[in-house]
Structure 1
Amino acid sequence: MSTENALLTILIDRINNDTLVLPTLPEIAVKVRQAADDSEVNLMQMADVISQDPALAARMIKVANSAFMGRSLKVNTLNQAVTRIGLRQIKNIATAMAMEQLFVSNNKLIKAYMDKAWQQTLKVACQAITCMDFYLRVNKHTSLNKDTITLASLVFNIGVLPILTEAERHPEVFANPSFLAHAIQKLAGKIGGSIMREWGFTDEFVEVAESWSNPNYKPDHACYVDFIRIGAIAEGILQVSDKAGSLQIYEDKGVIRSLEMFTSDEYLSTLEDVKSMFD
């Protein structure tokens, strides 16, 4: 059996036997989510929780000051940032901002793959969030919202992490990058869904992680998977033979206004605003 097939067999066996080591949610994200689920928590207490991670605190202030939040008056403190963002949104946004902590490795080769995966994730996220913003301008009564797509678009590809971690034990597979791409394509969705369930995330996040790259999954209603796919197609991360034709599906479905939207000054300006949150 080739090294590549051996690795694939190991991964499949561990998935089937529930023995694959899954990444754990960053500790600060766990604390924020627990606090947000406490009906007694107030904004000051939430700020205290976030302040335990200075890097996250700085990111939350940056998000609060971003043009995407639609405010021109700058905030300077974490308390002000939490107040502006609000308890309802803070749970998902803080979790999203902590995700980068997972894409790290002491192995130089693995780190390069993880860095690439994270940068691809950010590109898809920015497109997905921007598309959602445009969608919400027209569909004001939808249950879809910006804070959920912000987190969903940063965890959609989380299934690659255990594959890369396992591959670290088989460095010879990196001599064949196309194999690793095949393993990710074949298994990342199922693994991603398992991670979302392990972390106790809701069904909409499981749906995104499991189904975004599955061409056979075609929901009739507008959902978060649509926005992730649009972002992935726009950035060339979801490989399709006809990019315009693939995006046209979402215009017909009413998820995007038109294909011309992507090249409009308004869209590109909003996209830059979203990117500024992750710089």
Structure 2
Amino acid sequence: MMMTLTGYLKVVRPVNAFVSGLTAALAVLIATGRLDGPVPLLIAVVTLITGAGNVINDYFDYQIDQVNRPNRPIPSGTVSLAGARRYAILLFIVGVLLSFGTTPLCALLAVFNTLLLVLYAARLKAVPLIGNLTVSYLAGSIFIFGGALSGTTGELITLPIAAITFLGMVARELLKDGEDIEGDRAGGARTLPMLIGVQKTGWVAFLFALAGIGASFLPYLTWGQEYLVLIALPDLLILAGALQGLRSVDSTTLRNSRATLLLKGGMFTALAAFTASALIL
């Protein structure tokens, strides 16, 4: 019994899910400069729906994980396929029901993201570029959740941040696919680098990263010139990562370039810049 309970805890990836919930709360802080309203409820909604998405993703990846990640709860047998399906449905339902205690826009977003998470796991994940766009939207939408709890003014502040997250995530996801091209090919996956090559994928990622840097200037309208100082380092890291990806001709040079690490660092420092701007500017 304990082994099964441990499996059900692990399959939601609790740290990942809870960090998503805390990020939504951080989005409220960025939007308003304080944590007012049903923020704990929002954390619960985002945590539950993210956790459910992790479960349903592992449910549809069961056969692949049997080979690549046999120690995960479903292929290892600590969580059954039927149990995982029921568990995901339960978490989705509870998350959506709780969202009705927040705001209408949050509730609408909870329903939409729930449907998209299922569609992503079942179909879109295997579609080149579309899968990357979907998972990047889902990451960026956490900031939309926070803005939606804060009303129209809050949404206007968090939408550019969601856009920056989305565009930066697309660039990083594409380069990660470029790094993993051999393993993906062996596993029967279809990714953009497999279709057009690592070098051309680097160009696509570069354009998304540039768009993200462009979007990062939008909060200047709210926070002024001091914000531009804070966002300079994140933008430089994102640009450096994108340029490293652009110079990579194959998966080996791409991995050695540390492009995805630079992009990740840029996105984390951008989040710190947004938070600092909301609190001090």
Give the TM-score band, short-chain normalised: 0.3 to 0.5
Which structure's relative contact order is higher, taking Cα pairs within 8 Å and 6+ residues apart? 1
Q: Which has the higher helix share?
A: 2
TM-score normalised by structure 2 residue count: 0.32
Give the TM-score normalised by structure 1: 0.33
